[in-house]
Structure 1
Amino acid sequence: MEDHISPMNYEAFIRRAHGCTREQKGASCDYFRNLQTTESGWLKLTGIGSADKQLTAIKGHLAKAIQAFLKPRRGRKLTADEAEQLAGLQLSIERSYGSADLIPLIRRGLDITQPYKEA
């Protein structure tokens, strides 16, 4: 069964962090979906790069999103506990080996940042 939720969670986390559209900051769920299908062997497009290259890019987008959360923006200021949890999350993201490792980390990031969800 294809996983449609994880790419949407990725997009939601990036967009929540930056307050951007899906076309900005690497937020499009297509990036995560492409990684998943490349890892599974279903996607053979040379233009998007290897799974390792895609994973590195996604980790970079997630790291920038966490950094955006850690900087106060538009009245948003994380509690010390939230900041500590996001710092630990960033370390876990850096150590991940694929999309399957990232899925629970992204969900955790959404849980931590739920108070900052924009309507």
Structure 2
Amino acid sequence: MIRAALGLVGLLGALAVVPPASAEGNTDYSVLMISRERLEVATSCEIGIYLNDQLAARLFQEQSTSFNLPPGPVDVRMRLLPGQMPGCAAGVEDQRSTRLNLKAGQISKYRIATGPHGLELRQANLGY
């Protein structure tokens, strides 16, 4: 009984040291929107969106995605993903990424297009 009481007192003491979670503080972030709304990429294959070399989204035709990111630089890379569609097997592809410098409170919209070196991002109008 004494052990349980001491354990409970110790646990409560440890919880008092940990600061409470709060939604307040540094809430500055930027919004990055990437769309594949237009038929500029002539493939039915799924396109993978990589942020800082981590797969963050997968897009088919007529889809878009958005990310709430901290301000600062972010590397964006795209590649065709192998999947259910025939002919979507990954081959030799360009591993270049686009570096975007995001600012707090900024909303940026890009669309996926095909350029001379493969898939690329082009700035798009926010439309509102």
Higher helix share: 1
If the length of structure 2 is used for normalisation, what is the TM-score?
0.27
Larger radius of gyration: 2
Give the TM-score normalised by structure 1. 0.28
**Higher strand proportion (structure 1 or 2):** 2
